[in-house]
A and B are shown apart, each in its own frame.
Chain A
Amino acid sequence: MASRAMRCLVRILSMSALGAALAFSVAACNNQTGFSGSVGNTPNGPALASYEILGTVGTPFTATVSDARSSWTLQGNVPLSIVICNNVLPARIIATKTTSNSNLLSLEAIIGTRVADLQSTSASFGTVSVQVGGTLNSIASPASPDLRIFVAGPADQRYNALVEDITTGWVISSRAPNLILFDSPDGKVDATLFGAPAFPTFTVNMTLDGAVVAAVVHGPNATIREP
């Protein structure tokens, strides 16, 4: 009986360890290989970089994000995480603080869980710029189509998401507020966001060329599809 209980305990512990290791690996991978590498037979996507616009909470900014193929212009407030699905490195982001005070604006390029490049400013309307994956000499032309998924909340909560077009899926580990940009999607795009069981409600919208085309408020998981 004791042996059976011990075997059961060992099995539970080993499954928990495996689960935890898998969870941490998913959370940490930030899609270095593309989700398609482990499920299905679609090819690996290129490495994804993500960007964190941080500092004094609420500080407004305007930013231009560009990879080697497309660029996007956006406005927002600190904090904001940005991910470009299907990106082509090198990539560069330029942000200008749009307030006349000494609030901190910090721009960080993340590869995996590593801060690859970082610049900060406290100057009035200070401008910062970071790049990743080499030198991007020129800002690419505006994305076409310009498809964005904005995960407005819940604030500061980590979640995972699968974002895909009809050929490739991307696993993203991020936190809200989060802007997901999709560079040159092949067909229509959908995203499924996974919160933990006790996770609050996702507030998500999808814009296509500046117009909101889908909006979802749901939890702990949510799916949004391009109509």
Chain B
Amino acid sequence: MLTQIFFDGFRVKDFFVHRTAGSLIAPFVTLICVLLAGVGSARAANTAQVEVGFVGVPPTNFQNVLLNVQSVRINRNAAVGPANGGWETIPVPPGIGNSPQNADLQIDLNTSQNLPQLFNTADVRPDTYEIAEVQLDPNNPGTLIPDCPLAPPLSATADGCINYPIQLAAGTNVISVSNTGPGGLIAPEKGKLVELFLQVSMMINKAPTTAGGAYTVTIKLASPPTNPVQLGTVTGSVSGSPTAPTTRVQPLTVTAEAIGTNTPIATAPVQNGKFNLALPAAGGPTGAYGFGTLYDLALVGGADTYQAARLPPLYPGQSLSQNFTPKVGQTLGYITGTISDNCVATKPVVGATLQLLIPPDDITPTPPATPATFCIDSPEQCIAVATANTDDAGNFPLPGTLAIPAAFDNVPVLPKKAAYAMEITAPGYDPLFVQAIPSSGKTGGTCTTSATGATFDACDLALNTGYISGTIPITPPNPGQTTLVQVFAEDHGTNNIESALPMPLAVTNSHVGSCPGPPPHSCVSFTLNVPTSDVVPSGFDLFATTIDLYQGVTDPFQGHTIAVLADVPASAKPSAPGVCSPPTTATFPIDQTIDCVGHGSVTGGPSGVANANLGTSVVLSKDNVLITNAPVQNVTTENPNNSYAFCAPADTYNLQRLQLPVPTFSVVPSSAPTPVLDTNTVTVTIPPPPPAGGPSSAPTPGIKCPTTCEYPDGTCPGICNDVIKPIPE
């Protein structure tokens, strides 16, 4: 008997479940014993730390040079085989991979030219290590996305802005570097942090000879990198003895965050009252020491009070010192609750981000202001010390583990029922600032319902939102094909994107709207969740892109024109809970029709971006709507070419320099600097690719249609074009 009828009529195959549970107990116990045994022995012996990072030396003329890394491992003996038991593995970080390994960390050698990309930090045995290996995914070691070709010959395999797999010439997915001299590659000591930076160079051996074929490449490792590593250190002490980590108390750590964000860059444990962080530091040709990178520090855990600091710029090869004096032995409490939509009753806000903010240690708010009210009034001057997210029912926080409780389940209770400032954000919603008091009982803490509220209640909060509804003209795809359209809204005149559609719009030949015009045309309708005029009084700029396939496989860049519409007003906030304001209207003009045009690229060429530094990027815009930006690469090497590259559909665009101000030496900024858009623009037109395939003869034979899309006559865009456009100062 496999099924059982319950009294409520619900049938389940109960025997099936119980039998399954029973059969799984034995292997589970064995497996867990094996795993715990390994963990225990490793932890007992591993008392040094290794921080691994990558520095990229990519081949030129590629939009992206992507490697799929599974792990890095080191051994004290360069001559040992792969099965040797002495390998120490530094896995991909939590959130990307876990044991058993079945996920990759994709690194882009292009974006790690200027600054090293941190991989992970792990405990290892104190020893001298002679060899390091990078293990790439054996099934899919990486991907190359070339820019469009500059000149003939244009074969069927020459198209750019699409994915090409790579194949390693050495025939193995393992790349290694060794040093058998005294000191080896690294020699981590007990209780200390050592950096292992691996310079990853890729050379092209052979371009593909068949459509969809692989590039044959050689990848080499070097350590230390041939160029000076753009790295600085932050060290310091923490007074008092923290509560030892238990199932309820997370360990005491110091986390470096990108200034003004809750994005962790690196985390260090506090050991014997000290911590040591190695962090990317922007150097380059700027000033005496380089450009400088700005960080916030957050001291969290160990039942200590939260502490935070904002640092002056960190330069390559330099060290900053920051000491903390927290109060220890604090009572820990919870902040739990739900986040919902203030416009649609009972609709949960899924994936909202909640942050507890505190002022840096050197800021003492003047009474009657409190740290909480200070951070609500000036959030840009405060630092995130705890972060949580909502689940699919709008509840927060997501559960942690026994060893590492969720940050919001481990909040130090402040004396005299003092509150923290809490910021709640979600795309398409107004950010909400409230005061929150953690509870050490089972109530889950209390919150105000607004920034100015004084009454504390359960932390069940609602976010305001508004709507934009509109239409976008589109040429319907040929029968049997689908075009997916995504719409974005950004603050007017900026590249600060606020919202996107939760689901792309699917347009087929038979499923497309009709707009009256004039002239009448095919169009697609959308409604977009956006913040209200309270938060974005200047309104929004909208742009719509497509998500395409290229000959049936996923295409990293779109082949349809990007439709834009500037200066769409924001709607007012809900007049009462559950009472939405009417949406504002956004009708894209007919000259913004989404059409199949094919890929294209624009690159800086040998001149690149004049006088660029590590705060320079280039913005691509169309009809005064900023679409995307790209940082200037290869700025810090001995022979910088200050390159940039965009893959964009064939069309006319404007290019502008976006410049982050240079941080002032040894000055602690009050907030994160804002980049400034250069008023000088450079116009570039990327010509459409010649048509290929279809019933008529094609200039690029051998190409199967559809490529990134298809024209109404059955032909499709052929090999795309690259345009070189240097950016003068």
Binding site for B on A (CB under 8 A): 15-16, 19-20, 22-24, 26-28, 35, 39-40, 42, 52, 54-58, 60-62, 64, 73-79, 92, 94, 96, 98-101, 103-104, 106, 108, 110, 113-120, 122-125, 127, 129-131, 134-135, 137-139, 148, 150, 152-158, 160, 162, 164, 166, 169, 171, 175-177, 179, 187-188, 190, 192, 194, 196-198, 200-201, 203, 205, 207, 212, 215, 221, 223, 225-227
Contacts and interface: CB of A to CB of B under 8 A. Distances in A.
Interface in B68-100: 68, 94-100
A56 B263 contact: yes
A192 B504 contact: no
B95 to A, nearest CB: 4
B391 A152 contact: yes
Interface string B387-398: 101011101001
B329 interface: no
Instruction: Give the 10 A-B CB pairs with smallest separation, nearest first.
Output: A153-B399, A23-B27, A98-B427, A135-B552, A19-B30, A23-B31, A57-B95, A75-B351, A196-B32, A138-B482
A65 B12 CA distance: 28
Contacts of B584: none
A115 B392 contact: no
A63 to B, nearest CB: 9
Contacts of A152: 391, 395, 398-399
Contact of B389 (A15, A58, A134, A164): A58
Given A115-B102, A196-B32, A78 B549 contact: no
Given A79-B95, A139-B484, A26 B24 contact: yes
B31 A114 contact: no
B12 A164 contact: yes
Interface in B456-503: 480-482, 484, 486, 488, 495-503
Contacts of B100: 24, 27-28, 113, 158
Nearest to A179: B392
* Size bracket, chain B contacts: 35 or more
Most A C-beta atoms less than 10 A away, residue of B3, B34, B503: B503
B19 interface: yes
A129 B264 CA distance: 26
Given A169-B16, A201-B399, A54 B486 contact: no
Contacts of B21: 192, 194, 221
A205 B399 CA distance: 13
A151 to B, nearest CB: 10
Nearest to B93: A57
Contacts of A116: 139-140
A225 to B, nearest CB: 7
Contacts of B555: 129
B350 interface: yes
Given A54-B103, A162-B20, A166-B13, A77 B261 contact: no
Nearest to A200: B402
B556 interface: yes
B20 A192 contact: yes
Contacts of A226: 10
B104 A118 contact: yes
Contacts of B309: none
18 contacts: A40-B16, A57-B264, A98-B427, A98-B499, A106-B96, A118-B143, A125-B497, A137-B482, A139-B482, A150-B391, A152-B391, A155-B398, A156-B95, A164-B16, A169-B16, A177-B391, A198-B36, A225-B10
A115 B103 contact: yes
B302 to A, nearest CB: 20
Contact of B28 (A74, A176, A197): A197
Contact of B547 (A28, A94, A117): A94
A60 B351 contact: yes
B244 interface: no
B168 interface: no
B262 interface: yes
A150 to B, nearest CB: 4
B426 A60 contact: yes
Contacts of B205: none
